[in-house]
Amino acid sequence: MQEILKYQDIDFKIAKLENELKELPELKKAKEMQNLKADCRNRLDVLEKNAQKALENFEKARQYYDELVVKIETLSKSVDEYDLEKIKKLQQAKNNFYQMVEKLENELVKIVNQFSKVNNDYSAIVKNVKIANGNIEVYKQKYEDAKAQIEPKIAELKKELAEQAKKVDKAILEKYNLRKKHGLPVFVKNINGTCGRCRMTISASKMQLFEKNGYVECENENCGRIIIKM
């Protein structure tokens, strides 16, 4: 059993280093910057749509204003100074015109504010994208530097693991590889008649097998470790 324990120890070191590689803060930071860039792209799409809508509103307002001007001019030319009824209509049209002009001015102010906000947001987003691009390169390089130190250690341990596998009983190694899919460690100690992982009591029948074979599988379905004599 000592051979498989040594094998497990090497395997555990490999898993620890591989996990360390995945959890490197530089890699996380680089991913955060990538996510920031993606978010910025989405926000720019929204800004573009808002800008287009503001332009459309402005064009509608401008066209409406032109139509009102033409209407007033047309009425003015058709009114006779002695035609009181037409004069009243013209006066009413002018009053309506001024009201509409005031409303139009308010709409234009809103549109200008929209453009101002779009412009400010755009500038902020572009700035963030530039920062993200710069940081991505920095974090990528730091990650590559850290990886260059860790990967050779993993490669060396894998060679050692392959050599150790030759010394382990094939049946035991097969059990190990099947159970390893559920997590390490696979082999644990018998601690006062309990599983060294989940602390479930080893039944009397299992204890007999344990004494006979030197190992037994934990009866806890959520554990399933192989309990061995150490």
For the chain, what are the domain ranges?
Answer: 2-167, 171-228
Give me the pLDDT at residue 75, please. Answer: 63
**pTM for the full predicted model:** 0.56
Range in 20-34, 113-127, 180-194 the model is least confident about: 113-127
Alpha carbons 105 and 58: distance in angstroms, whole number: 11
What pLDDT, on a 0 to 100 scale, did the predictor assign at position 81?
Answer: 55
Q: pLDDT value at position 84? A: 62
Give the pLDDT band of residue 163 (cuts 50, 70, 90): very high
Residue 18 has pLDDT above 60, yes or no: yes
Q: Which CATH class is domain 2-167?
A: mainly alpha
The residue type of 68 is L
Q: At what angle do helices 170-180 and 2-22 cross, to 10 degrees?
A: 30
> Which of 56-70, 118-132, 203-217 ranks highest by mean pLDDT?
203-217
Mean pLDDT, the chain, as a whole number? Answer: 81
Q: What is the pLDDT of residue 36?
A: 73
Task: Give the highest mean pLDDT range of 26-30, 45-49, 109-113, 138-142.
Answer: 138-142
